[in-house]
């Protein structure tokens, strides 16, 4: 049975919960520009997701806009000369970090272009699904700007040489090239959102503890020394063996039925 509940974080970002999947929809006009009001709304939406029990996967998408997100509203820059950190950088990085640190798998569904700060939002998700022909780029250098957190996350995905090429030139890639470089996970001829929903549904059927812990371990592989990451692996493995979910999975396997995981 599919149960759906919608929470409106604001007019700029909507949140919908269907079974164990949360969908966050950007709704800031035809370009979904990253403005301070939109960031506040996204922050509220992420808090709503984090506080809701039972969520096993999250989709972030551009809704009815013609792009996923075209990046920052350049009109805001004129007033930010003296206090950009206070007025924009720190808060924006905090919101993007909150997205990246959600403890469940996250998917960006790209049915339109993801540029600058828009691609930074997508890079903060665990997975990216793109419609064929969609364009992606960290184009800040064309304006003399800088992709901050996006530079770091891009380099971890594609390596330093390709990341530097994209950043130095402000290159725009199509979805197929982004796939070949490892920036997106899947390219779809049809709707990226529909494909992301199928993927999120598949993820939600798996062990929720398994996926939360797997996300921690993959992130630890980048962020921590090898011995520390392996020590974390040992501790999380013990928690899995102590969990009810593993025993439910074994019972379901032998009974040839679908397991009913509870995340415990």
Count Cβ atoms within 10 A of the Cβ of residue 78 and give its class: 0-12 exposed, 13-18 middle, 19 or more buried. exposed
Strands 135-137 and 173-174: antiparallel
Catalytic residue among 120, 165, 188, 228: 120
Strands 13-18 and 4-10: antiparallel
Catalytic residue among 23, 92, 140, 188: 140
Active site residue 51: no
Active site residue 23: no
Strands 186-188 and 127-131: parallel
Q: Which two tokens stand for residue 225?
A: 């020394």
225 Cβ neighbours under 8 A, 6+ residues apart = none
| Phi, psi of 66, rounded to the nearest 5 degrees | -80, -5
Catalytic residues: 120, 140
């Amino acid at each position: 049975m599919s149960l759906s509940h919608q929470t409106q974080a604001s007019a700029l970002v909507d949140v919908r919960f269907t079974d164990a999947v949360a969908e966050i929809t950007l709704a800031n006009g035809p370009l979904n520009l990253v403005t301070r009001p939109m960031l506040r709304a996204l922050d509220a939406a992420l808090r709503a997701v984090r506080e809701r029990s039972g969520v096993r996967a999250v989709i972030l998408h551009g809704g009815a806009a013609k792009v996923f997100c075209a990046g920052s509203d350049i009109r805001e820059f004129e007033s930010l000369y003296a206090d950009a950190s206070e007025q924009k950088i720190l808060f924006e990085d905090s919101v993007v970090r909150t997205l990246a640190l959600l403890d469940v798998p996250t998917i960006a569904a790209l049915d339109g272009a993801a540029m600058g700060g828009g691609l930074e939002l997508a890079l903060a998700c665990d997975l990216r699904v793109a419609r064929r022909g969609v364009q992606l780029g960290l184009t800040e250098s064309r304006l003399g700007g800088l992709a901050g957190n996006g530079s770091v996350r891009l380099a971890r995905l594609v390596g330093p040489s390709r990341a530097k090429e994209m950043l130095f030139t402000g290159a725009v890639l199509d979805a197929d090239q982004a796939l070949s470089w490892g920036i997106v996970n899947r390219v779809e001829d049809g709707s990226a959102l529909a494909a992301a929903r199928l993927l999120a549904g598949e993820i939600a059927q798996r062990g929720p503890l398994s996926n939360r812990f797997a996300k921690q371990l993959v992130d630890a592989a980048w962020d921590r020394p090898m011995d520390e990451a392996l020590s974390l692996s040992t501790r999380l493995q013990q928690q899995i063996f102590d969990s009810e979910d593993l025993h439910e999975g074994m019972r379901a396997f032998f009974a040839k039925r679908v397991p009913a995981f509870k995340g415990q």
